[in-house]
Amino acid sequence: MTGDFTRDTFRPDKGYSAVRMQQGRLFTDADWNEEGDIGRAALRTTTRSVIGASGFPEDAPGFAILAGAGGQTLLIGGGQAYLDGIGISHSAPVRLMLLRVSGTGAATRWRVEAGTRVAEGDYLVLVGNTPAQAVRVAALFDDVDGRQTFQAAAAISAANDAQVDRYRSAESQPFLPGNNLPTVAGDYLAYLDLWERPITAADEPLIRETAFGGPDTAIRDQLVWQVKFARTADLVAAGAVTAPVSCASFAPGWSPFGPAATGAMRARANPAAAAADPCALPATGGYRSLENHLYRVEIHNGSPAGGRWKWSRDNGGGAARYGKIDNGALILDSLGPDEPSALKKDEWVEILDEARRLKSLPGFFARISDINGIRVSLGEVRDPDTLAALTNGSAPDLTVLPEKGIIRRWEGGLPIAIVPDVWVPVEQGIEVEFRAGRMATGDHWQIPARSLAATIEWPSKDAIGKPAALPAKGIAHHYAALALVTRNANGIWTVASDCRNIFPPLTALRSFLYLGGDGQEAMPNPLTPATLVPLASPLRAGVIRGKTPLPGLAVEFEIIAGDGRLGPVADNVKKRVALTEADGVAQIDWSLDAATPTQRVVARLLNAAGQPTHLPIQFNANLSTAAATSFDPANTPLLAGENTVQGAIEKLAGQTQIGCSTYIVTEGSDWAEILKSIKDGEDAAICFQRGTYETGIPVEISNKGHLTLHGAGEGTQVIARRAECALLFKECASVTIRDMAVSAPDGSGALDDFTSRHGPVTILDCPTVEVTGMTLRCGGGVAAERTGLAIRGSNEKPLDSVHVTHNRLSIGLAQDGILVTDAVHILISDNELAVVPGKAGVKPGRLLEDKDWRKRVVDLLVVRPREVEARGGGNREFRAGTITATFESPMPQEEWNLLFDADPPRADEIRTIAGMQGYIKRVSDVVVADPDRSPTYKRALRTMGGRIGDTRMAAVDPEVKRSLVLIGEPSARAEREQPNAGDGDGQVSLKAGAYAIKFGSPVSQSDWSKAMKQLRPLDITSAADLIGHARRIAARMAADDEIRERLPSAQRWFNRFTSRLPSYARQAITCGGLTLTTVQIRGNKAFGFVRGVHVGASGHNPETGRADLVRAGNVTIADNHLSLRKPAAEVYVPMALFVGNVDTLRIQRNTLDWAGQASDDLFNHGIRVWGDIGHYLKISDNRITIARIGIAVQPIMPFDRQQLFRYLWVASDNLSEASFPANVVKAPKFLLRRDNRP
């Protein structure tokens, strides 16, 4: 460190433990400093041995990296940290009280009423909010009444006073001012850099004791912490870590610079003979000065190959502070403590401020040319890095210097380039030699020089006595990995991993131990399967600290597999807390259920708040059954293939009952062949045992008699790989399938073969069907191509009876749930249908391959296109909100669009016509003031100047110049807001040849203009051609990444649109076909579908090629809960529940609400009844929260007014929460309405 010292005598390798004063002896600064260094080193060594290379205390883990402001920045959490035994802390968040001074929203000027001062780049979180809602401090202003004022980048609070928490960000660190986050997308390491620096009275005037009249006294060591970022790819390239990079990659002692060798230095003075007279200098050799000095050799600007060095004979202690630069001179606080050490003419000094010191940057070098009092004039100023002269004309350029800072004298003059392995003279017989290696700015060595011995104090190699090559004495940096973070292409930061080593206090170091109870078995009674089976021994866990048992601590035991009980069976408890006894042991009894082969309990140690504190302990237990006992069929060929006692017994039982049409399917058998082996017309019962049964093609079972298939619930898994159907039944007398799990989970893009909307279970032309207790799953696709369950009859042979009850269906993206067609009696009840979470791997680009999706997206980008009058000449246009301004200008529309994008109108300018006219004038004035904003205007000025000359040009009236930008007064008009215009700028105008169109779009006018240039229309002969071309451009915007990269607003819209795409399925329950005599849809739950129920009867007329109107019979839709969602924001969805063409209809007690988060983007209809409707219609007791129109009844057949008394159409007691009163029920007037509410 710099400072006025005699020498530094602290040598850790000597093992000194204290400094002892003796009476009557001299006392030096070196003795005092060594005492402090010994104590500090001992403390840090002990702390490092206990904590490790880096650690963050569990009760206050500091320096957490937090994604703030929606990921726009990274915040630094408060708390403590220890690096190599050195403790530091950071206070965050700090509570502030703010008072509004003026303005509103983001324009508010706030005053800090209580709390600390803020810095630009700090982030403020309103109390009650999270760091994700943090707001940046954007600008600082002069204090008002001694209190700080500032402005934030966004609104903090609508109230006039606010309590906020201040966080430091990576950009506003106290010891790294002006820091910027990386701007390139990629993976980064956030790490902590800790180092120490000396603070003198020149750095901090408050150290100076003013009672002494100004002299400085002792200096201070200050800990400096800085959060920095390094790209992980760069760390790998430097050898600092190896790929793949994780938190475990950063072992103790790691450095961001990798393993490169650091440089070293040797120093020597030519030896001299001893002198008899202590006041006489030796005649030759050695150190030649009459004064004792502490020389300092310091690296000025380091590099991997070395750099430049400088030296001072007084340890760089000749420093002074300057507060300003006045008329080419630095105004210093003082020239030095006394005349001998004062700054003098022609001395070289280094000039640097706090920012350069904290960033470890070298300072400017300058030569003093004159001193007048405390005014110091400079004759030369040199660049910090190149040392090139910086001039302003013939004089040195002082404008490059910091406004205030420190000057430090270096007697060696300008820094010298390092030449490895060459002895270089310093002065007075002292020489230094550098060894090759990486040098860092600020690395330094100290050389005590003593006149009496005519030598220097420098260690020698023990073996040969030559000067030792020593590494730099400082600056020592200590590093700790904080987090792995990622910046995406949109500039959003996320924290991937927290790399801090969190440690508890020693008194909290408890051990949570397994003591007994795992691996037990119990034998169930198959005749009483509901009877629980107790284990012989309790489950036991213990807690100790060191060797001491800890009583009274809570241990939570919970059953996580199986349906057993903990403790007394009568308590009927599956989770129970037991306290440790005096011996530190907690224990509990466990009884198993009689069905689950392997069961599990987890034990967790809880803290006082009831939260787990350690890794859990798991206890496993098994049922002792024949199915879990191994069997070797080697000596029993008839039982080949069986490997358990249970399987062997069951196979023996099957062999002794020849003639019984019961088939037992076991895991590992050729189950598809077993099913195919059933004879045509044969009645059969097929039992699938527990296991997994896979197939790559649909297993077809056709032309059989009455079939019953059943399994062991979800223990029986039938899976179709790369196929849409697993079990396909055709033309069997009846099919009953229950208690199995059947799935075709692969997405549509992975299917080898694709047929016609089949499900994992598909049943065709089987008169009687019953599906119950099944778990069904189908994969997703870009369009409706598959179902979860498909049951179909035909026009010629409708099914007699279809019962689908108590099933669970998981439906892939965009697919249907239950599909039933052409049946006389249909019952669909108590089923649970839900969309498979996620988008099944379907990327937005795949969605756009589907024509329906592509049309939806194009309709969002080109909304209500229409032909308008093509404006010629210089007519220009701008629209904002509901006001359109038109004006005449020589400048093209494209240049105006760029001006509007760069300087958009204020909120007050788009509220009125006059405001919009004023805005156009304001923008034109900007161009007049800055011609570089418009190439057209700049060319016009150049042409005019060439004609009239510069003198006359300077006198041209501003109004004449404005006419080159804006001709006449702009006009404006208010227009109605276009519906469905998206969330963009509103109206867009396009022109090609003699045709012009206008439409709504979320993409800006300027980006549409760019797109028209990139994708020029070929042959436009009508407005319809131009509209078609706009729609083709819209399709390219949505599908082509390269197109969007050049259109910022299109990219923003696309990111917004795709991020909002939900996981959805299409129709939960669908009944259709020519014959629907009785349909009951009751008690079902659907989640995540676009439409909950669709019932519609229709028939195809082969003569006309059209669908004939055919009524369904008696349809009841009741007690269903339909939680629905739209496939994308802004997409039109006509209805949530639909019935078409029906004779008798009851829709009662249904709930239609949102799946997940509610939306303002409503369905058009909640319940819609359409078509040929019979005499009886009742819609009652329904609750609808998702639709603009609650209930719509839309008959298409004419009514005989004289016969209306024979109709009973009623809508009563319905609640449509999102509708206006007039939109709750939309129906013919004769429909009776009673107690319907919005």
The confidence score (pLDDT) of residue 284 equals: 58
Q: Is the pLDDT of residue 272 over 70?
A: no
The confidence score (pLDDT) of residue 1196 equals: 87
What count of residues does the chain have?
Answer: 1238
Show me where the domains of the chain are located: 12-51, 57-249, 264-466, 510-624, 847-1058, 1097-1104+1120-1238
Q: Say if residues 1201 and 1207 touch (Cβ distance below 8 Å).
A: no
Mind giving me the DSSP string for 130-148? -GGG-EEEEEEEEEETTEE
Mean pLDDT of 225-232: 96
φ and ψ of 898, to 5 deg: -65, -40
Question: Percent of the chain beyond pLDDT 70?
Answer: 93
Read off the pLDDT band of 1 (50, 70, 90).
low
- Tokens linked to 957: 């009236």
The confidence score (pLDDT) of residue 657 equals: 42
The confidence score (pLDDT) of residue 1193 equals: 95
The confidence score (pLDDT) of residue 980 equals: 38
895 or 1091, higher pLDDT: 1091
125 or 1204, higher pLDDT: 125
Read off the pLDDT band of 88 (50, 70, 90).
very high
Query: What is the rounded average pLDDT for all residues in the chain?
Result: 88
H/E stretch holding 663 reads: strand 662-665
Q: Is the pLDDT of residue 651 over 80?
A: no
Q: Give CATH superfamily name and number for 510-624.
A: Immunoglobulins (2.60.40.10)
945-949, 985-989, 1022-1026, 1068-1072: segment of lowest average pLDDT: 985-989
Q: Is the pLDDT of residue 754 over 60?
A: no
The confidence score (pLDDT) of residue 727 equals: 95
d(CA 458, CA 290): 19
CA distances from 279 to 451, 933, 966, 981 (A): 9, 78, 91, 97
Mean pLDDT of 204-211: 83
Beta strand segments in 348-492, E: 348-352, 364-372, 375-382, 391-392, 395-396, 405-409, 416-417, 424-425, 430-435, 444-450, 455-456, 470-471, 478-487
The confidence score (pLDDT) of residue 986 equals: 66
Strand partners, 543: 512
d(CA 848, CA 857): 8
Give the tens place of pLDDT for each residue, 668-721: 888 988 888 889 999 999 999 999 999 988 999 999 999 999 999 999 999 998
285 or 484, higher pLDDT: 484
Read off the pLDDT band of 52 (50, 70, 90).
very high
407-421, 764-778, 1015-1029: segment of lowest average pLDDT: 1015-1029
The confidence score (pLDDT) of residue 948 equals: 77
- Listed as own residue / partner, the contacts of 865-870 with beta carbons closer than 8 Å and 24 or more positions apart are 865/997, 865/998, 865/999, 865/1027, 865/1030, 865/1031, 866/997, 866/998, 866/999, 867/995, 867/996, 867/997, 867/1023, 868/989, 868/996, 868/997, 868/998, 869/996, 870/991, 870/994, 870/995, 870/996
Give the tens place of pLDDT for each residue, 132-178: 999 999 999 999 888 999 999 999 999 999 999 999 999 999 999 88
Give the tens place of pLDDT for each residue, 312-343: 999 998 899 999 999 889 999 989 888 888 99
Q: Is the pLDDT of residue 1106 over 70?
A: no
Only one residue has tokens 């600064």, namely 29
Question: Percent of the chain beyond pLDDT 90?
Answer: 58
The confidence score (pLDDT) of residue 804 equals: 97
Give the tens place of pLDDT for each residue, 371-404: 999 999 999 999 999 999 999 998 999 999 999 9
453 or 329, higher pLDDT: 329
d(CA 864, CA 145): 57
Give the tens place of pLDDT for each residue, 907-933: 888 888 888 889 988 999 998 889 898
The confidence score (pLDDT) of residue 1161 equals: 84
